Structure 1
Amino acid sequence: MKFIAIELGAIDELISNRFLQSVEFEQGKAFSAILTAQIKRAVLSPKLEVTKADDGVFITVSSISLESRFLILDLEQSRMFQGVSDADTLFITQKLMRFAKKIWEGLALNFAERIFSGTTKAVLFPFRGYEQSPYRVTIEREPWGDRLAKRGHRGNFLLAYKAGREGGDAARENAELTNFRKAYEAIPEVRQRIQAGSGKKPAQSMSLTQLQVLELEPAPVNSSSLYRSLDDWLPLLTTQQRRFVEQPINGPYRIEGAAGTGKTLSLMLKAVCALRTAQEAKSALSLVFVTHSDATKRTIQEVLSVIDTYGFTGSDRNVSSQTLKVCTLSELCAEELRQSISESEFIDRDAMESKGLQLLYISEALQEAMRDDFPSHERFLTPGFASFMKSEESWRITEMFQHEISVVIKGRASEDLNRYKKLPTLRYGLPIGSDADKGFAFTVFRLYQDRLGAVGQFDTDDVVLTAIGQLDTPIWRRRRMREGFDAIFIDETHLFNINELHLFHFFTKKEGPYPIIYSVDRSQAVGDKGWTSADIAKTLTDQADSTPQEREERMKTIFRSSPDIVNLAFSIVSAGATLFTNFDNPLEAAASAFTDAEERLTAEPCYLAVPNDEAMIEHAFSRAEQLQKELGCKRSQILIVTLDEKLLDRLATFATERNKAHLLLKRRGDALAVESASVSGQFVIGHADYVGGLEFFAVILVGIDNGRVPPVGEDLVESSKHFLSYAAHNRLYVAVSRAKYRVEILGEKARGPSKLLLPAINANLLQISDASL
């Protein structure tokens, strides 16, 4: 195949149909296969005709005229798709079609689209940033200009004739027009074939080796609501998602993907689909869906109330054969420990709230240890650890001690000092360098435990470790066939630490292969920094070897965010990946599924420099009000977020004093609170730790400047710098990936942008300007 001709009416359908934006949909895969000549024809949409002509293919609507406009891709001359993946082939073509439409309609171009004045040439850079010699496509805007002008067809054709990473002189070079003339001269014949009805070929006459494509009506642009039944969702899923949802549960399964790829939705759909299949087969199936916090539990229960039209959710196991229980891990443990621990003894049932209270207790224990014990320990400590304890900001030390206590002392050492001393130190944790250092850390741990004992409470780690002790017994192994679950679904596995992950496999009815289905995006907020995906899989399924037999689906199509926001998030995660060997990059090979209509609401992410913090806070609300008007959305669809606790307090105070209607997020992923803000017309304000699992039209990040994200200081030791930088990458990625259409970042002008943003700025993925108040 030497050329592809795409008519303007077909371009409108191809760029607006959501199923044609990604190769994870069958239609998108078929479109890519046509572009690369893997198949000759397929049903891409009821509105489109795919017609084979001599040496080429025409993609048109069902009615074209001699005046129709065409984008011609000269595949022979440009070798546009050679050495390019199917996903990139589709992406390049989508960008080309959007560019062509902008040229014909005289619309504003973005940074990656250029028309050279004084010439008839244009250049498109479909892949923004990252490379010294970016991939480009050169377009002739007036092919065969004089002759077409005489026939009255001037301006009706665009020719993409050159592609690759090599530059050139667009003003002087001339496109070879052999294939263009073939395409132009074939138009009358193609038009007659379509009118005669020969453009459509019966499906049954297709070769069995050709790709068969399901015809689906395009979903409306504003079809992002989660509130649909299972049957309504199935036609809207990508091929990969649908395969995951409909596959039988017969072992461990991991679903990975960046923020906005639909991991949680896929888990919910799979659970309900499995229960429906069991109901049809008249077989018993009992599932449990474990969430990290009460807020996300309530959100999932509400969405399931619509997805699950069969009433599986909340059904009593003693009455129904098919049931789905939604709960937090603390609630699941409490049921098994109801004989040993009372409700009042839990530090908090919500995991996020529990860890917040845990920080306060550790802070008190740390202050006591520094006052009473540190002077006697100091001369035995390594210089680095002693300096860290004396000079580092106390709250940062508290956060690192919380991690050390939960992950190492309780999780890996089982609260035994001798075992603790034999364990290797965490890569991104306290700068411990000797047994003496560990002795002081253990002293802080004992003081923390004394405080829990004084108030008669247990923290999450206590509850989990106690549960493991009670479940890893002959009595439970005998009872688990009756009281265990047929399968366990875990949402946001990356938020659980090692202790919590060790617990899940005890709740299955059978021992191995464990039917545990879980989602993970380790870049969002790793419960145990330093983990790899293999570590998580090994812990969850309790396998002795390091390569548990586990199936995996990696979701690549991002439905939430615009391409520009995906690129910005990619840059942030890539910077983290270069700093930390275990920092996962979920955006490799990721692609946005935005249609042309959705892209019109987008704008390039920008960094706005403001004079000082007061101006920054004022400007955040000013921009929120302006973005609300530009996007025509509710106030609750605008998020103002920061990574700094002090700035968060000042944002909330400013909003209160100026009577700005606002909701302050207090729990992670509290979608119901955001829904109430929608009813009352409030902007949403929150710390990055609490915005995970949520989605907004626009996100305004406040205080993302040098010295504040991540915090720096002359007194910071190297280990503390690593810890804070790791956490800052996590939080910034989470905050940016909440946005659908717009991201604006505010910082103090004197400080300059955060170093975490510099790769994005250097790659022109983030535009810098001064804020105008």
Structure 2
Amino acid sequence: MTTTLSALVIDQKAINILDRAFIEDAWLQKFEVPQNADGLRRVESKDIVYLLSRNADICDSYLIIDTGVFAPATGLAKPRTAFERVLRVALRHFDRNIAIPVQWQPYHAGSRLSIFAQSIRDTQQRIYFDQSPDGTNNLYAFAVTSNPEDLDGVSEDRALYRRAVEGICDALLADPPASPPVGNFGVLLSEPLVRLASAGTLQEWYDKRLNREQRTFVDQSHDRPVRLRGAAGTGKTQSMVVKCLRDLYAETDGDKTFAFLTHSSALAHTIVRGMLHALDPTERWTFLKTPSGQPKLWIGTVYELAQEKLGYEKKGLKPLSLDGSDGREYQRMLIKQAIDQVVQDPRIVLDIFPGCPDFQKRLEHCEEDASLVDELMNEFACVLDLEAIKKDTHEANRYARGSREPWQMVLPSEAHRRVVLEIHDVYRALLRTEKMLSMDQMIADFDGYLDTHEWGALRERDGFDLVFVDEYHYFTRAEAMLLHNLFKTRAQIGGRWPLLMAYDIKQSTSDIAISGGMEKFRNPGVGESVLTELKQVYRSTPQITAFLRDLDAAFPAMDLEGEYATYVVDSQQEDGETPTLIVYETDIKLVDSVFEQAARMAREIDGGGSQVAVLCLNEELFGKIRVAGRVREKFVPITSREDFKELRYAKKKCVFSMPEFVAGLQFHTVFLIHVNSADYDEEQSQGSRRRYVSRIYLGASRAACNIVLASSKELGGPCQLLDVPLANETLRRVS
């Protein structure tokens, strides 16, 4: 007779092993594990399963899960996703230098915590935890509800928890289980999803694998800010991780604390942590603490740091993240609602629209103008929200009457800009109604908090001595200008703070990187920085590098004070295929053919579908293709950078995404689809053209071995920025 399992108990070290594992939904029925190099073993006692690491100890803290959370009755659409989120909360519980993503909307009440069980586009289900059951440091995941509920009102089976804990000692003393039979266990215990370019310990990397420029950066002292600039694939993140770990271990006996900040939670907790594990599989860096008990390394996003300090989850506020398609779709919906209100407002129609009849017509037909909402989103993020400009203020008058940069939205008259201010005002009101706030508003609040007496009193305890910022080109000027307040005051030397920034402006698909000028790169309030530039590409073949060099020539000429450097790099890889362009008669033929090629390649190459990506350059078409029944079974969608872990489930399916959602990843082959002239026109504004070229550059630079570009004659055929690569034969057109 099969025993119905009631609880699962996992020790702290085993949580790290499972966090790297490939898990299928079926595994959550019996939790069986194969023989593995990680030393994970399974002990079953009556109706409770214990998953224990090689060095598990009775004094350790444990994760206890009521397995009813994963029972069919709860109706979880993706049980393994919920389990992975439980593991992430456990990692956070036992290691305070790990953060819970803002998008999961964690909510606290006393010792209880709840998070969304999976993407809120799929469900409103939430998982509930007790962070101090019976006053211990254990973590108990005890329930799931179909909709958010008051934390204190959700019932908790405390008797089950106590039975599970009482059995830990016997489980630790139990004889090793017999070798499990060969078969499919529904779990594959694996190394981290993302690794360094080549194997090697931290010392081996420092001694043998860093090139001269990377070594120069790693050897920089902590007495000044340093910026690390380099094209995609030059090893910026690798260099940052090597320096972080090397400097951290050099300070083992001291009380210095480090922060490794990124713009993406997945980059921080999947890629950066994966690289750290590759350099030191013992993960000693996770256990280092100062004499006062503070973690010596904090890894996460500036938003997670802000939420940790401001406690929005306790106030019922929900940050609106724009890093994924869900948040951007929601913002589009709010902007369209704002436009509808503005075009029907008699005051605006009579007083402002007569000064810009062309703009009035464009707004009234916004459903037929796909680029309008995108341009407004960029104007909000890079100008209005960034500068905290509100209607009927001095700053609003200056915005309406002042000069504009060439990259900004084309708004030729004061009337045009007044209308945009009205749309923005309604948009902000809609956010307030939904108890939501934009990430820019969160940063503005965080900046204010860092000027409070409270932070002044906590700064020497909770601040940092060294701050690393990866993908700095995604940081707004407001985010950059608050970084100096994160340091302990003792970190300042001669008016300079040790901030280390890695970036490539051309990978930014919005104007955030260039809005506000170049001062945020040279001196974001931390003192004049020293530049190290990387010029050797380790990701891509010489053929892809040559194509990127020609594509670089298509970027609009922009005076960015030396920061918009020409792409001059050399590939360190062997020769490969020349990138190809295929032009299809119709959109349907393009989609069918590309996904057929990608699926075939996913079945044939090492690494499977996780090494083959189809990246769409048009966001509207991406949304349509993602739900198209004809190809939906051929791909795993990545709709946010928080979906990185989905890559391990690609198997014989390819990855389908947009370039900005896979920034930081690399693939064997990339298909860039809908490189159409309908989306790129030399008559467009400088900003629109730059953002489109950046999207192609970012997508193409994800490829290590092969690039296939595809366009449709229905949408004008290939865009003209491909003319130079075709003429220089760094891009080959095939039938």
TM-score, length-scaled by structure 2? 0.66
Amino acid paired to 2:536: T
**Aligned residue in 2 for 1:710:** 680
Q: Percent identity?
A: 22
Q: Deviations over 1:60-104 (max 9, x none)?
A: xxxxxxxxxxxxxxxxxxxxxxxxxxxxxxxxxxxxxxxxxxxxx
Distance apart, 1:383 and its partner CA: 5.3
* Worse-matched range after superposition: 421-430 or 554-563: 421-430
**Aligned residue in 1 for 2:260:** 289
**Aligned residue in 2 for 1:363:** 336
Cα pair distance change 1:531/1:573, threshold 3 Å:
farther
Distance apart, 1:491 and its partner CA: 1.2
**Aligned residue in 2 for 1:688:** 659
For 1:722 and 1:561, the matched residues in 2 are separated by 28
Judge conservation of contact 1:348–1:354 (CA < 8 Å) in 2. Answer: yes
Partner SS, residue 568 of structure 2: coil
For 1:522 and 1:294, the matched residues in 2 are separated by 20
* Worse-matched range after superposition: 656-665 or 257-266: 656-665
Amino acid paired to 1:301: R
**Aligned residue in 2 for 1:571:** 550
Q: 1:528 aligns with which of 512, 515, 529?
A: 512
For 2:556 and 2:202, the matched residues in 1 are separated by 37
**Aligned residue in 1 for 2:591:** 617
Distance apart, 1:576 and its partner CA: 0.6
**Aligned residue in 1 for 2:56:** none
Q: 1:514 aligns with which of 497, 508, 526?
A: 497
Does residue 739 (structure 1) correspond to residue 709 (structure 2)? The answer is no
Count of matched residue positions in the alignment of Structure 1 and Structure 2? 526
For 1:226 and 1:334, the matched residues in 2 are separated by 36
**Aligned residue in 2 for 1:36:** none
For 1:658 and 1:405, the matched residues in 2 are separated by 35
Q: Deviations over 1:507-531 (max 9, x none)?
A: 1113541211111100011552644
**Aligned residue in 2 for 1:748:** 712
**Aligned residue in 1 for 2:28:** none
Distance apart, 1:633 and its partner CA: 5.0
Does residue 552 (structure 1) correspond to residue 531 (structure 2)? The answer is yes
Amino acid paired to 2:585: P
For 1:538 and 1:311, the matched residues in 2 are separated by 34
Does residue 421 (structure 1) correspond to residue 386 (structure 2)? The answer is no
For 2:449 and 2:516, the matched residues in 1 are separated by 28
Judge conservation of contact 1:298–1:672 (CA < 8 Å) in 2. Answer: no
**Aligned residue in 1 for 2:622:** 648
Distance apart, 1:582 and its partner CA: 7.6
For 2:643 and 2:444, the matched residues in 1 are separated by 28
Amino acid paired to 1:724: S
RMSD, matched Cα: 3.0
Distance apart, 1:260 and its partner CA: 0.8
Distance apart, 1:342 and its partner CA: 3.0
Judge conservation of contact 2:602–2:654 (CA < 8 Å) in 1. Answer: no
Distance apart, 1:670 and its partner CA: 4.4
Q: Deviations over 1:175-200 (max 9, x none)?
A: xxxxxxxxxxxxxxxxxxxxxxxxxx
Distance apart, 1:390 and its partner CA: 4.6
Describe how 1:253-264 pairs up with structure 2 within 5 A: 253-264=226-237
* Worse-matched range after superposition: 746-755 or 373-382: 373-382
Amino acid paired to 1:231: Q
Partner SS, residue 228 of structure 2: strand
Amino acid paired to 1:415: K
Q: Deviations over 1:13-56 (max 9, x none)?
A: xxxxxxxxxxxxxxxxxxxxxxxxxxxxxxxxxxxxxxxxxxxx
**Aligned residue in 1 for 2:378:** 403
Q: 2:345 aligns with which of 372, 375, 395?
A: 372
Distance apart, 1:648 and its partner CA: 2.4
For 1:594 and 1:241, the matched residues in 2 are separated by 18
For 2:617 and 2:381, the matched residues in 1 are separated by 23
For 2:259 and 2:553, the matched residues in 1 are separated by 35
For 1:341 and 1:506, the matched residues in 2 are separated by 23
Amino acid paired to 2:499: I
**Aligned residue in 2 for 1:198:** none
Judge conservation of contact 2:668–2:703 (CA < 8 Å) in 1. Answer: yes
For 2:212 and 2:548, the matched residues in 1 are separated by 25
For 1:645 and 1:406, the matched residues in 2 are separated by 18
Judge conservation of contact 1:256–1:519 (CA < 8 Å) in 2. Answer: yes
**Aligned residue in 1 for 2:316:** 344
Distance apart, 1:382 and its partner CA: 3.8
Amino acid paired to 2:593: H
Partner SS, residue 576 of structure 1: coil
Distance apart, 1:478 and its partner CA: 4.7
Describe how 1:275-286 pairs up with structure 2 within 5 A: 275-279=248-252, 282-286=253-257
Does residue 603 (structure 1) correspond to residue 577 (structure 2)? The answer is yes
Q: 2:205 aligns with which of 233, 239, 248?
A: 233
TM-score, length-scaled by structure 1? 0.63
**Aligned residue in 2 for 1:161:** none
**Aligned residue in 2 for 1:459:** 438
Partner SS, residue 575 of structure 1: coil
Judge conservation of contact 2:352–2:419 (CA < 8 Å) in 1. Answer: no
Partner SS, residue 539 of structure 2: coil
* Worse-matched range after superposition: 239-248 or 608-617: 239-248
Q: 1:759 aligns with which of 724, 729, 734?
A: 724
Cα pair distance change 1:414/1:223, threshold 3 Å:
closer
Distance apart, 1:356 and its partner CA: 5.1
Stretches of structure 1 that go unaligned for 5 or more consecutive residues are: 1-221, 543-547, 713-717
Distance apart, 1:628 and its partner CA: 4.7
Amino acid paired to 2:350: S
